[in-house]
Amino acid sequence: MTPSFTVTLDEINAMDKAAFIAALGGIFEHSPWVAEGAYRHIPFRSVEELHKTMLDTACQAERGQVAALLSAHPDLATRLQVTPLSAAEQRGAGLDRLTPEEFTLLNELKRKYTDKFKFPFILAVRGKTKDEIIEAIGKRVHRSRDEEWAQAQAEIGHITGFRLRDLVREG
């Protein structure tokens, strides 16, 4: 999945705060505060440094703010409207082509997961099949809350890394 536009790292580094937030505010699902927090570290030497700074901003925030970030992620294979980035990522994994049985199983697992952890199942689905996704949630639903809190943040790191590398070119 590639965005409809890309920018260079040099262009990112030259942006004022409002433009920076406008360009990168959607990288972390419904959480432009991450881009706003990362802006104070401008300029960035690489896309990886930019991503690490954004991820550190997100993961080192107050626990309630991190919980809100986790909760901002859409359910996988939902029939509800999701952001264009999430929709494209889910289509790429085949989640728009689930059989009725797969859809029912995935929804049951998601409900158990959300009931247990109080945030949606988060997985970087790029490069994964629908079977791998169903297998992952089937395993992860049995973990502890601390394990899943950490795993969800790691998955957000993968998701946002893909998104940022799709949007920002070195140079």
**Comparison of pLDDT for 4 and 103, the residue scoring more:** 103
What's the confidence (pLDDT) of residue 144?
Answer: 97
Tell me the per-residue pLDDT of 28-42, one tens digit each, with 9 for 90 and over.
Answer: 999 999 999 999 999
In the predicted structure, residue 103 carries a pLDDT above the cut 80: yes
CA pair distance 49, 66, nearest whole angstrom: 21
CB 156 within 8 A of CB 28: yes
Cβ-in-10-Å burial (0-12, 13-18, 19+) of 80 comes to exposed
Tell me the per-residue pLDDT of 138-165, one tens digit each, with 9 for 90 and over.
Answer: 999 999 999 999 999 999 999 999 999 9
Residue 7 CB neighbours (<10 A): 16
In the predicted structure, residue 80 carries a pLDDT above the cut 50: no
Which residues does the annotation mark as catalytic? 73
**Domains annotated on the chain, with CATH:** 7-169 (1.10.3330.10)
As a whole-number percent, the residues of the chain with pLDDT over 90 amount to 71
What's the confidence (pLDDT) of residue 99?
Answer: 83
Distance between first and last Cα of the chain: 21
CB 113 within 8 A of CB 121: yes
**Comparison of pLDDT for 155 and 5, the residue scoring more:** 155
- Mean predicted confidence (pLDDT) in 77-83: 50
pTM recorded for the entire structure: 0.85
